[in-house]
Structure 1
Amino acid sequence: MAPPKRKTGGGRVTPKGTRPGEGQRIANPEENERGVHTSSRYTPPVTSEMREPKPWIPVLMLVLLGLGMVIIIVRNLGLVDGNWPLFIGLGCFLGGLYTATKWR
């Protein structure tokens, strides 16, 4: 036999006098003339520099990724001894991945 279902504590989720999907209509002195609640957080406007991608970012990304792969391949073929070329190649490759995150 299944255990009896527990009643969960429920209640009103939306403010009284509203319907789901309408948005909040709370009598608040901070509301503007359109009835929209003003936020205490400041959102700065987006500058044109942030909207337009810089043309050198994809070039730098591809150069760093390619250089990193070439250095790692040369190290693994045995043409260069030591571990420093591997670390430099990984650094270049990770720099290329980081640059890829900055490309819009």
Structure 2
Amino acid sequence: MAPPKRKTGGGRTTPKGTRPGEQRFANPEENVKGVHASTRYTPPVTSEMKAPKPWIPVLMVALFIIGMVVIILRNLVFTGNNWLTLVGLGCILGGLYTATKWR
């Protein structure tokens, strides 16, 4: 015995009178070989975005090194202060954030 069929509850995915893959246009001029204007706006790329800034990798590496040195010094020299661990982790996280800006 087969289980009862379920209703999917879906409606039409294409307008009535069309087949999948066909598109109807409100203006007949728009129907030029299936090409139509995009509704998304893409701003032009500025020259600042094209060229990477040379100080970003330097800052990234410096933050990583400072963070490691602070954490190492906290463990070897300043054993009673936990704030230095947070400062070191903050520097390392700053280096990771800077790494996301490097193109």
TM-score when scaled to structure 1? Answer: 0.72
Moved over 3 A (4+): 15-19, 31-35
Residue 68 of structure 2: aligned partner: 69
Distance 1:57 1:87 in 2: 23
RMSD: 2.7
Distance 2:31 2:11 in 1: 31
**Aligned length, in residue pairs:** 99
The verdict on how the C-alpha distance between 1:17 and 1:96 changes in structure 2, with shifts beyond 3 A counting, is same
Unaligned stretches of 5+ residues in structure 2 = none
Q: Secondary structure at the match of 2:67?
A: helix
Asked if structure 2 preserves the Cα contact closer than 8 Å seen for 1:69 and 1:89, the reply is: yes
Trace 1:44-83 onto structure 2 (pairs within 5 A). Answer: 44-77=43-76, 79-80=77-78, 81-83=80-82
TM-score when scaled to structure 2? Answer: 0.73
Identity level (%): 67
Distance 1:74 1:7 in 2: 67
Residue 7 of structure 2: aligned partner: 7
- Specify which structure has the higher proportion of helix: 2
**Deviation per CA, 1:63-100, whole angstroms, max 9, x where unpaired?**
101110111111122x0241232222111111101101
Amino acid paired to 2:13? V
